[in-house]
Amino acid sequence: MTALRQAARRGADPASRRANGELQAAILHALWDAGRPLNAAEVRDYLTSSGGAHRARLAYTTVVTTLTRLQEKGALRRERHGRAYRYTPTADNAGMAARRMTRLLDAAHDRDTVLMRFVSDLSSHDEQLLRALLDQQAPTEGADG
């Protein structure tokens, strides 16, 4: 049996995983745009009224499930507010991208080679920026440490 068929039998079709990833990204953007904690109903209302890919009416349970998964991944913080939870992102967009990059690096078998290839693929502007950032982080000579 092919991997695609096995995934379909488990109910995990690749297209739905991609759609889940898109919904997670849309939810994070909704929370960043709001600039304040939102509950699941507010997130759903934002997504269905924003005119994006999720314009069609989303089930409340789908939004709650996705918010819960994001919270379990550490991408959201939730706080009880009455009978519902309000959700807040744990990092901004750049912080989330940095976390993904770190997870990929941590999963690599040869971290040094991955870093070398990453740096070699940088544009000259990005390389200069990275050098400047590293220079700012370098410990000063003679510092206790």
Higher per-residue pLDDT: 65 or 141: 65
Of 38, 43, 45, which Cα lies nearest the Cα of 88?
38
Higher per-residue pLDDT: 51 or 81: 81
89-98 long-range contacts (CB < 8 A, ≥24 apart) are 89/28, 89/31, 89/32, 92/32, 93/28, 93/29, 93/32, 96/28
Which residues, other chains included, contact 37 with Cβ-Cβ below 8 Å and sequence gap of 6+? 31, 79, 81, 86, 87, 88
Stated pTM of the model: 0.67
The predicted-structure confidence for 63-97, as pLDDT tens digits, reads as follows 999 999 999 999 999 999 999 999 999 999 999 89
Quick one: pLDDT at residue 75?
94
Largest CA distance in the chain: 63
Q: CA distances (Å), 89 to each of 23, 76, 80, 117, 122, in order?
A: 15, 4, 15, 31, 29
Residue corresponding to tokens 């990833």? 21
Token pair in block for residue 137? 């982080």
Q: What architecture is domain 3-89?
A: Orthogonal Bundle (1.10)
Quick one: pLDDT at residue 7?
46
